[in-house]
Chain A
C-alpha cells in the first residue's frame, strides 16, 4: 500500500533562515509521481512541483529546491532565505498506477511558521 510520511508536524524559523521539509514515501510501483502542495491560511492548496519516478534530477525554482532520492525513498523540499509569506502548511503527495494515476495519497503535512 502507498504511504507518505511527513515526520515534522511543525517547524518554526526566523526570516532568512533556510528550512528543509522532509518527505518519505512508500510504494511498490516502479512508475509513480511525487508532488508538493502549499496550503496558505486561505485554505486552498497550491501545486508547487511534480516529479516522476524516472527523473531523479534535483530541481530549483527561485528560493525553492527539491531533492529526490529513490535510494532512501525521499523527496525533500528546501526553502532558501525563508520569508514570512512562506508560512503555510506544506503537503507531500504520491500518485502511482493504482486507479490509473487518479488517486493521490497525501502526507499529514508540515506547518511552517516563518517569524519576522
Chain B
C-alpha cells in the first residue's frame, strides 16, 4: 500500500512570496490533516478535512494560509504572502475510521529567506 505522498520535498522562497504544497493521502482515507512543525518543536495541527469538508481550522492563520481538498482526495496548502516565521516542515497525514491511525507523509521543508 502506497503511503502519504507530498511534494515538493524542499522549497526555498523569499518573504512575501507565495508557495503551495501538495498532498496525496492513502487511497480510501477520508480524513486528511496538515501539520506545521517548526524546528525544535512538535507538529501543530493547522487544518483537518473530512472528505472535502473542513472539520477544524482553528489554528490556521487564515490571513495568509489557505487549504483545500476539492474532490475529497488530494489537498493543497498555500501560504500567501510568506513570512520568515513560516519556515518549517509541513506534514500531511491521513487516516481512516477503520484503524484510526494517522499516517504521516515525509513532509515539505520550507525555508523563507
Q: Do A and B bind each other?
A: no
